[in-house]
Structure 1
């Protein structure tokens, strides 16, 4: 069974500016540099004309995880979170995301859309989190889904900060 996640971020910025940030390799390199002391690294980065495929790898300190989770961990845990964005066309861009863990069978996938609105733009993310662990997988899915939603909320802040600093 999987856990459905949905997230909406409303920006006061037009989709063109948010998209330009999301497909800027410098934005992602800076994110990796800013999180390096917490084990964040750039896993991959491929840019094109208004497109990007990027992944950030995060080493996880398992001592901070609930005992329910640590019981099923095998080895070191890291998560690679990837995003891919297509070009902005007529005020709309489509993307995909994924998160895959090592050491615990976690997989999250979904889609993203960025659209202009009268107030700025809206980013919508929909997807599923799967934890393939018998009996307790559902409980872990809820925890992972909450973590992903928290990360997405922080992402909105980071985009806005980047735009303010690089406008």
Structure 2
């Protein structure tokens, strides 16, 4: 299943990239701010030269159809790895892998941070969600895509709040 999530920020692209690669921001956003609590497993590099990060978060399974919850339990552990290249012409590109442990689900895709005409930033996550569950793959993929979308939107709001702090 294809997934595209487009997020926007009222901040310059460099500021958004700096926040996404800032260990203080990553710790701050992992606190209860509407985003799923996340643990930073690894962070290296900088927004100037490119960076990688690995996160682990736990989310409730309320987005999964009830008939499938018995397969994964009450919570899902999501592991996310991002690799961002150094900026070229004000744009950042990268790759992302998201795995849901306890469920054979994986998202692989691309990342983009690009300036908008109004001086803000467009953040695009695009990829393929694949579930290897016989008979239920489509339902699991749809539920996983919904969970990933909600997590990304909550994290984007946390980033907006962080950036607004100045």
How far off its partner does 1:109 sit?
Answer: 1.1
Judged with a 3 Å threshold, the aligned counterparts in structure 2 of structure 1 residues 116 and 23 are, in CA distance, closer, same or farther, namely: same
Shift of 1:32: 2.8
| Offset at residue 142 of structure 1 (A) | 0.6
Q: Provide the alpha-carbon RMSD of the alignment.
A: 2.5
Change (3 A) 1:77 1:163: closer
What SS does the aligned partner of 2:7 have?
A: strand
Match of 1:90 in 2: 89
Distance 1:77 1:154 in 2: 16
| Aligned: 1:31 with 2:36 | no
CA distance in 2, matches of 1:64, 1:112: 24
Match in the other structure for 2:9: 11
Task: Report if the CA contact (8 A) 2:54-2:79 is conserved.
Answer: yes
Deviation, structure 1 residue 69: 2.2
Deviation at 1:60, TM superposition (A): 4.5
Please list every run of 5 or more consecutive structure 1 residues that lacks an aligned counterpart in the other structure. none
Aligned twin of 1:108: 107
Distance between the aligned counterparts of 1:79 and 1:109, measured in 2?
13
Partner residue in 1 for 2:52:
53
- CA offsets per residue over residues 26-81 of structure 1, 9 Å max, x none? 2112223447xx7632222222463221122123556885433234338x842212
> 1:31 aligns to what SS in structure 2?
helix
**Matched residue, 1:121:** 121
Native 8 Å contact 2:18 2:47 kept in 1: no
1:40: which partner in 2? 38
What is the TM-score when the length of structure 1 is the normalising length?
0.83
Q: Deviations over 1:118-166 (max 9, x none)?
A: 112211121011111000011111111111112222222111111122x
Runs of 4+ that moved beyond 4 A: 60-65
Count of aligned residue pairs for this structure pair: 162
Structure that is richer in helix per residue? 1
Are the aligned partners of 1:32 and 1:56 in contact in 2 as well (CA < 8 Å)?
no
The DSSP-based 3-state class of the residue aligned with 1:72 is helix
